[in-house]
Amino acid sequence: MKMRKKSDLPNKLCEVCGLSFAWRKKWEKDWASVKYCSERCRRARSSASVKNSMDVLAIALVKHI
């Protein structure tokens, strides 16, 4: 019998923060269209069309603190 590990789940890179994130149950219907690791990243992307990813990363870090 084969155990299914978490690492077997599909992974994607967040377009905002660049971190990889794994498939989640809540995304099972629209995984193909998921581009961000979190709602916060999704909003950050849609509210400000910043092309410089370093700027976005800095903003994300500031919000974290």
Q: Which residues bind Zn ion (CB under 5 A)?
A: 14, 16-17, 37, 41
Q: Is residue 29 classed as helix, strand or coil in its secondary structure?
A: coil
Please report how close the Cβ of residue 19 comes to Zn ion at its closest, in angstroms: 6
How far apart are the C-alpha atoms of 47 and 44, rounded to whole Å? 5
Q: Which is nearer to Zn ion, 16 or 64 (CB)?
A: 16
Q: Which is nearer to Zn ion, 1 or 32 (CB)?
A: 32
Q: Which is nearer to Zn ion, 28 or 39 (CB)?
A: 39
Please report how close the Cβ of residue 35 comes to Zn ion at its closest, in angstroms: 9
Q: Is residue 37 classed as helix, strand or coil in its secondary structure?
A: coil
Tokens representing residue 62 in the block? 């500031």
Q: What is the DSSP letter of 6?
A: G
